[in-house]
Structure 1
Amino acid sequence: MRILYLLLAVLFVVLQAVAGEPSFSSPMHACRHRRGVCIPGRCRQPYYRVGSCGAISSCCVRGRWT
C-alpha cells in the first residue's frame, strides 16, 4: 500500500513538470521569440535570415549598424 502513495507522488511531480512546458512550439512563435518576422521567400536588405517559418517562409531579423 505504501508503494501506491510513492507512485502517486512521482506522478504528481511528473505532471507538474509537464504542465509548465509548452506542448508544441510553432516555427512562427520561435521566430517571434528571436525578435524576427516571417517573410515569404527570401530575406531582403536590411533583413537577414535567422531561421525558417515553414516550407516557403523565412524568419528575418533587421540588420544592425555596427
Structure 2
Amino acid sequence: MSYEINTLTADCYEGTTCLINKFGITNEKQLENIEADYLMISTIQAAHGITDNLIKIFSRYIYKI
C-alpha cells in the first residue's frame, strides 16, 4: 500500500516517507508486511469470536461514505 506524503508536514521518520508507528519500523515495505500479518491474525481471532482487533482495524481504515 503506497501513500503520497509530504514529509515536511506528515508525521514521518526523518529522511523517510514511513509514518511513525508503534513498531518503530522505518522501512515502508517491512511496515506493510507487519500490518498484513496483524490483519491476518485479527481475522483468525474474529473467526473464533474475538473481534476487538478487527474492529479497531476497520474503524481506522474504512470510512462511511
Q: TM-score normalised by the shorter chain: which range applies?
A: 0.3 to 0.5
Using the size of structure 2 for normalisation, the TM-score is 0.33
Using the size of structure 1 for normalisation, the TM-score is 0.32
Q: Which has the larger radius of gyration?
A: 1
Q: Which has the higher strand share?
A: 1
